[in-house]
Structure 1
């Protein structure tokens, strides 16, 4: 049985970065990935990179001049080919970066625990068992498939992963789920020219956001032709000769049928622990099925750690990367870093325009007892937005009235995914809101609108 100082299960952002870091310290490392199509993890293969690439392609100017669905479908097919070539190149680069290291062994197969130190790898139906002094779980998350009649039998039902492999542009697509993933895909495919209807059982859109922001998001997407059916409880999905029909009940319990040629499941993702046989190692999981870890990402077994989406919480690539930093610091560094250090984590939803936020919403701030100062500004007044002809959206800032510290910011506007990092840095460094109000930005840029936004704080 081959012995390793380190075994990493999963080739995601945290796993691959940790493998390189430990290998550079002289550790003998084994990294296991169940699919040759997933070297590098979710982000470069089925997540951040391919979706953002398609968002970019859907906004290209030549699409705006096309009238027929057939012409738009050609551009869509070209975009899918570009996306596929991009992810393929990244995947090979990720593999080569580790495979080229003398003390790293890459195994491609399904891993499962035999004991606290032994890992079984199913490689093309052959079993290989290896031993690890320390083991790290980085297996990510997988789409949630809701319990809906006919969902497993339909040929027209897709997840966010499988939809991006479809080379034929749907004329009409139903999206089940109006969360961040659903809205991102709705905006993207509407940009390509698909007719989009979004169904969600909730009565409010993106309930985590303030109602004024959520309303502007909904209004903006509706201007793009996206239709929302909120309070819709899907009962069944059935294929027909022409495509697929989705049956749902509205809030009055009235039955409706919608026809389409594609259905996207955007109902969330769950930690991917299936088949790991964690019980053989004594590793506990939470009620939601995530690997249970402490603030240093240690599981209930001292030499086994977990990182990234598999531990639950925020499912972002940059969180997985920071998890890796915490592990490395506690193994090789000063043992000071923990997950408690992460206070103001920004996020972006890559709709058109993107929605980005950091800190508390106004509703959350009030619930926590803050006395607040609020600034709200329309994106249409920003010179840069006007010249780019991307003037949809709204900006909102929340400030603690007693301390003048920024406690939250929501930006629904062009380039908000870049701007939000500036706000986050100001928050992390403890700046008063006046720091951004009076800061010198280049002109004309979207970031200089932070001057105007925080000028509105009174």
Structure 2
């Protein structure tokens, strides 16, 4: 028999979970199907576990640098098992909270554990974990299945042990020398984590800069900060092959402008991109269209080409961030439940690279402004000039902001302690249409990181003079 619902959600991610709750509270009959862990990528193998590990690595770094603050301390002894146990405890608590919210606090939501596959446009078959099958149909179907790690075409990769970012989060041993293939924010965060925990780290990137989408000054500063901590970088390097000898040592051969280099390490992390979880959903039976990379095509309302079928979060491509997935939920909630449609493709894109110091970004970079031929002025201020930075010793980095002809903020890059928070203050100013003159003359408490906004805009000048 087929069970009918008003709403069927595939995947317990950062869009699917709150959507299930909102529809249930609105009196809709809801079923949510999850194949693996509740909470999606953020809780299980993204934000939560990596930031928990970053916190442990930060503590080790504080002990290691305590003498700079007049505190005598020995080299920190890292109990890697305890570090991982702390991370697992935090993930477990958040996962359990998600389950409780869906099952105990929302009795009108049916939760099924198993794999869902389409049998028609809005009908699915679920292979339950207990071995049984269940047929479902619904008026509205939301796909929130996320992505998985992509493996590059490197000779020998399938024949040697290597980590994806998800697998590295479950390792039981601290790598002696970790090779990281990929210089995106994932590679940089893991690089700093394991370097501070005691590993030797080498990051290999095919582009001439890490964080290749950022302005060159941001990329260079980030690389220098991590290099000062002992992270090695091999840039402009195309990975060709990898092998492992009898002693377990990995050799990664890369092509560079200077010729072939052979990099040796004990462990390898492959962090070169993601692929959508769409190949086992039976989307062809539903008639749902995919792009050339396997992502689900959606319109401004996140609706697929099939009426009543939506795609939320990373599975439809575009920026893959938790806060964007959560906003996908708000887009469809407001359109369907509150008759307040809003385009999912016309929204700000803030993000933070959670190294220490953090990189907070929102709005246009200089590269983007130049590509769009947007007139701008730019101001850049070293973090070391901020009073709070000198007092705390967190003097690395700089703040850069772009301003239009009417003194409104176009975008910012904040490479600083609390960079994400400072960036968010500037984002609030952008959302409120405040001018830089207002921020420059605003009375801000001293000594705070926010106080930097009083001085930043005094340095505005045309880009060719900056």
Which residue in 2 is equivalent to 1:209?
214
Distance in 2 (CA, whole Å) between partners of 1:442 and 1:58 is: 31
Q: Does 1:432 align with 2:435?
A: yes
TM-score, normalized by length of structure 1? 0.95
Q: Deviations over 1:385-417 (max 9, x none)?
A: 2222211111111111x2211111100010011
Q: Does 1:295 align with 2:300?
A: yes
Distance in 2 (CA, whole Å) between partners of 1:253 and 1:395 is: 34
Show the 5 A alignment for 1:247-262: 247-252=252-257, 254-262=259-267
Distance in 2 (CA, whole Å) between partners of 1:433 and 1:257 is: 50
Q: Does 1:450 align with 2:453?
A: yes
Q: Does 1:191 align with 2:190?
A: no
Which residue in 1 is equivalent to 2:43?
44
Show the 5 A alignment for 1:80-91: 80-91=84-95
Cα contact 2:149–2:275 (8 A) shared by 1: yes
Considering only aligned residues, what root-mean-square deviation do their CA atoms show, in Å?
1.6
Q: Does 1:92 align with 2:96?
A: yes
Distance in 1 (CA, whole Å) between partners of 2:63 and 2:400 is: 33
Q: Does 1:144 align with 2:145?
A: no
Which residue in 2 is equivalent to 1:320?
325
Distance in 2 (CA, whole Å) between partners of 1:230 and 1:135 is: 44
Structure 1 SS opposite 2:442: coil
Show the 5 A alignment for 1:308-387: 308-342=313-347, 344-387=348-391
Instruction: Give the 3 Å change call, closer, same or farther, for CA 66–248 of structure 1 in structure 2.
Output: farther
Q: Deviations over 1:330-387 (max 9, x none)?
A: 1111233221440x32110001111111111112212222222111111111121222
Q: Does 1:275 align with 2:276?
A: no
Q: Deviations over 1:122-149 (max 9, x none)?
A: 2234322211121000011111111222
1:151 deviation in Å?
A: 1.8
Distance in 1 (CA, whole Å) between partners of 2:63 and 2:115 is: 44
Distance in 2 (CA, whole Å) between partners of 1:364 and 1:44 is: 32
Cα contact 2:301–2:341 (8 A) shared by 1: no
1:165 deviation in Å?
A: 0.7
Structure 2 SS opposite 1:397: strand
Which residue in 2 is equivalent to 1:120?
125
Q: Does 1:266 align with 2:310?
A: no
Which residue in 2 is equivalent to 1:416?
419
1:8 deviation in Å?
A: 0.1
Distance in 2 (CA, whole Å) between partners of 1:238 and 1:253 is: 22
Structure 1 SS opposite 2:159: coil
1:228 deviation in Å?
A: 0.6
Which residue in 1 is equivalent to 2:310?
305
The runs of 5 or more residues in structure 2 that have no matched partner are 66-72, 462-466
Which residue in 1 is equivalent to 2:112?
107
Q: Deviations over 1:410-431 (max 9, x none)?
A: 0001001111111111112222
Equivalences, count: 449
Distance in 2 (CA, whole Å) between partners of 1:47 and 1:82 is: 15
Structure 2 SS opposite 1:59: helix
Cα contact 1:375–1:397 (8 A) shared by 2: yes
Distance in 2 (CA, whole Å) between partners of 1:246 and 1:233 is: 14
Q: Deviations over 1:147-197 (max 9, x none)?
A: 222222323x11111101112111110000011111111111112121110
Structure 2 SS opposite 1:243: coil
Distance in 1 (CA, whole Å) between partners of 2:449 and 2:169 is: 31
Distance in 1 (CA, whole Å) between partners of 2:202 and 2:361 is: 25
TM-score, normalized by length of structure 2? 0.93
Distance in 2 (CA, whole Å) between partners of 1:306 and 1:203 is: 35
Instruction: Give the 3 Å change call, closer, same or farther, for CA 250–392 of structure 1 in structure 2.
Output: same
1:444 deviation in Å?
A: 1.7
Which residue in 2 is equivalent to 1:14?
15
Q: Which runs of 4+ in 1 moved over 6 A?
A: none
1:34 deviation in Å?
A: 0.6
Distance in 2 (CA, whole Å) between partners of 1:252 and 1:364 is: 28
Distance in 2 (CA, whole Å) between partners of 1:207 and 1:252 is: 18
The runs of 5 or more residues in structure 1 that have no matched partner are none
Distance in 2 (CA, whole Å) between partners of 1:192 and 1:215 is: 24
Distance in 2 (CA, whole Å) between partners of 1:256 and 1:309 is: 35
Q: Deviations over 1:1-47 (max 9, x none)?
A: 21111100000010000000001111111101111xx2011111110
